[in-house]
């Protein structure tokens, strides 16, 4: 499994594969850049390629570490026709309470990966797992984009740091796009 780190110190964003030596180098560079010592938070995320997605709860468990990010982030899970994970992609890292992911970024890698379907996941750092009006608006646009592109939008999930989650499919918000990926 690949290990990805998301370094999130006050406005500095870095996403990618790094090693322990790289962490020390990055910390030194940040200290030089800011001119003082700052606290840096590493969020370690293991890439889980090939995992079969069975339920919304299994997605919440898969994304448990990502839910701890201190700002809203938007991920897309790319799935093959057997609902196995091709890639877990961080599409956008937003602010404390907003992540403005656009459908073109959401579907770009899904097209490249020849994904059969996608599941969108974003976190609510404050802990409220209910979708906002803005969440539902972007979900509608994503659903329309998926329909046009022929990529099934299987679910939209909100995750929280305490382990809570909300599934649009489980809660009836995807009735016009009814797709069953659950085996229960």
**Residue 142's pLDDT is what?**
95
Structure tokens at 164: 């809570």
What's the whole-number mean pLDDT along residues 63-81?
92
The percentage of residues in the chain with a pLDDT greater than 70, rounded to a whole number, is: 66
Q: Residue 150 pLDDT > 90, yes or no?
A: yes
Residues 7, 13: contact at Cβ < 8 Å? Answer: yes
What's the whole-number mean pLDDT along residues 15-27?
50
**Residue 100's pLDDT is what?**
74
Q: Residue 4 pLDDT > 50, yes or no?
A: no
Q: DSSP string of 83-107? A: SBEEEEEEEEE--SS-----HHHHH
Q: Residue 21 pLDDT > 70, yes or no?
A: no
Q: Residue 2 pLDDT > 50, yes or no?
A: no
Q: Residue 11 pLDDT > 50, yes or no?
A: no
**Residue 108's pLDDT is what?**
94
Q: Tell me: the pLDDT tens digits for 44-62?
A: 455 557 788 889 999 999 9
Q: What share of the chain is helix, strand, coil (3-state, %, to 5)?
A: 30, 25, 45
0.75 surpassed by pTM: no
Mean pLDDT of the chain: 78
CB neighbour list of residue 98: distance below 8 Å, 6 or more residues apart? 72, 134
Q: Tell me: the pLDDT tens digits for 95-135?
A: 766 667 888 999 999 999 999 999 999 999 999 999 999 99
> Domain residues of the chain, as ranges?
1-47, 49-177
**Other residues' Cβ atoms within 10 Å of the Cβ of residue 76:** 27
Q: Provide the β-strand partners of residue 74.
A: 92, 122
What b/e readout covers 122-137, taking b as 16+ CB neighbours within 10 angstroms?
A: bbbbeeebebeeebee
49-177, which class in CATH? alpha beta
**Residue 175's pLDDT is what?**
58
Confidence of residue 14 (pLDDT cuts 50, 70, 90): very low
**Residue 99's pLDDT is what?**
67
Nearest CA to 167 out of 50, 77, 68, 84 is that of 77
Q: Residue 38 pLDDT > 70, yes or no?
A: no
């Amino acid at each position: 499994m690949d290990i990805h780190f998301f370094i999130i110190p006050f406005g500095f964003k870095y996403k990618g594969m790094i090693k322990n030596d790289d962490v020390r180098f990055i910390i030194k560079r940040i200290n030089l850049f800011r001119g003082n010592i700052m606290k840096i938070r590493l969020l370690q995320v293991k890439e889980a390629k090939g995992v079969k997605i069975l339920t919304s709860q299994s997605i919440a468990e898969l994304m448990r570490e990502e839910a701890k990010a201190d700002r809203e982030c938007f991920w897309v899970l790319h799935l093959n026709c057997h609902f196995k994970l091709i890639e877990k992609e961080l599409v956008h890292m937003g602010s404390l309470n907003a992540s403005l992911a656009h459908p073109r970024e959401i579907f770009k890698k899904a097209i490249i990966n020849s994904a059969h379907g996608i599941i969108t996941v974003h976190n609510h750092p404050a802990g409220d797992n209910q979708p906002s009006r803005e969440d539902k608006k972007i979900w509608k646009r994503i659903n329309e984009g998926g329909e046009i592109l022929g990529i099934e939008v299987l679910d939209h999930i909100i995750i929280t740091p305490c382990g809570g989650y909300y599934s649009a499919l489980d809660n009836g918000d995807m009735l016009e796009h009814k797709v069953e990926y659950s085996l229960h």
